[in-house]
Structure 1
Amino acid sequence: MKLFGRLYTCIRLTAVLVLPGAAFSQAAATDSAIRAAGLANAVSQFREHMGTALPLYSGPRYTYYYAQMKEGHPFFRSPMPHRGEVMFDNIFYPNLYLKYDMLMNKVVLTDSAHQVNTTLNNDKIDYFNIDKETFVKLYKTKNNGLPETDFYQVLFEGKNVTLYKKDQRKINEDSEHKRYIWADVSYYLKKGDTYYPVGTQGKALNAMDDKRAQLRSYIRSQNLSFREDVEDAVKATVSYYDSLLK
């Protein structure tokens, strides 16, 4: 948005400077030609940039709805926008400001002045990146083990397996009828074309049963706890499992 404003200002200023006048000297005419060329270039850049970015800003305005919550927020990392990028309708858009509302499952684009918040169309998003963390759209099939077609965060991508995280925010009410947002987190290991839940030690070992003995020994030696820090434990275990595979 700031770029649009600068280009618009440049166009207006250049237009004023190139107004014709009978008293202009030959040098002024030359300057006018140079400025006219600058104006044409500015207009070209403006149109080119608008034409590329316009699909991103064509979605509905994002409406804040969680101010009355007792605690919690629905966003990945924080309610503040973070640097990111998105593959949208088969076009890659870098250097954006994005937020991910995990309660409404909406990717929100914020302009550089943080004034306008636009909801992107999920159907046109293949993947997006926020603060160097990648979310990809995975598709549920009849037999692949995924609970639903949705965006999943990539936690680990090895040579043989990939680990995904699904953080789905939900709303609960306490005994005083005050509402709060909490996180329902699950983890999935992709082996071949199948996804396996690995959110507990038992499920993780079942999913990687071909290396069960080595993994048990590794978990003990590294003091990994699936109860106290499941994310670190499952990431470390999956990473070690990937290193054991040929």
Structure 2
Amino acid sequence: MLKLSGINVSYGSYLALQDVNIEVNKGEFVVLLGANGAGKSTLFRTISGLLKVTSGSVEFKGQKTNQLPSFKVVELGISQCLEGRALFSHMPVKQNLLLGAYVRRHDKEGIKKSLAMVYELFPALKDKENALAGSLSGGQQQMAAIGRALMSDPELLLLDEPSIGLAPIVVQQVFDAVKIVNEAGKTVLLAEQNAHLALKVSHRGYVLENGRVVMEGRSDMLAGNEDVKKAYIGVSD
């Protein structure tokens, strides 16, 4: 479904991504592990069309998306939940969610179904639908950000560090919800530092260091790798 081939991305003279090759198949749940500054967010912005590649290609369902504007990438079926949530804090929760459905604004029935699905996934958002987004707790804001990304009915959902700043119990709730989304048929690519939990719910993973993919494999294999344990899980045998 998604194929990145020889991706290089630069910020001026700084090469942020170096010869990155990644594939995500339809229906998979793939995790991208890496420390702060490894290039995870840069990679996601590149997939979403917010950044342009210096060289290499991004393909989605066989179509090259390198030169497409970001709204066209969303129309093709890719939606990103940004790190930091980026909600419109002075707008109600429901309005924030509906903005996520802008690219399918003429599909009234489809939007209704998506909104009902988001509320079923995150009941707290239904209770708070008329509250200002800025008044929500951190966990509820993250749920709203994920819900907004789902409102475009994407085939591929990109989640950038959804666990940052959340209490462990809320992190578990968010990951459980994302797993349900994947099991319902959505393909998920997750960038995450919480390797312990991410590798439990995902199928495969890649490890990104200094803009390069240094390791890849099944999630159970990565979870058992000593280097991954020491660097990202904090334990070793």
Query: What range describes the TM-score normalised by the shorter chain of this pair?
Result: under 0.3
More strand per residue: 1
More helix by share: 2
Asked which structure has the greater CA Rg, the reply is 1
Structure having greater relative contact order (Cα 8 Å, sep ≥ 6):
2
